[in-house]
Amino acid sequence: MNGIVLRLAGIKHPETKLFHQTVITIGTQADCDFQIDPEGTPLPLSTLLLELSLSSGVYRITSL
């Protein structure tokens, strides 16, 4: 079984999550797997910032 641990630090409430799915979305959109609260950051509202996809046992950035 493949998985990845993501840690979001440098924000008001740091967060760590473990993912096992093939595609992982990160952003400020409500439907992102790893949602970032844009309050107090220069991040745009309702935006997909990054998409990771599992390929040959390695997670790679597929959208930025």
1 vs 38: CA distance, rounded Å: 32
Q: Could you say which DSSP state residue 40 is in?
A: T
Identify the pLDDT of residue 62: 96
pLDDT number for residue 1: 67
Rounded Cα–Cα distance for residues 45 and 58 (Å): 29
Q: N- to C-terminal Cα distance for the chain?
A: 26
Model confidence over 26-51: pLDDT tens digits? 999 999 999 888 887 888 888 999 99
Give the domain ranges of the chain.
4-63
Q: What is the dihedral of CA 55, 51, 32, 57, to 10 degrees?
A: 20
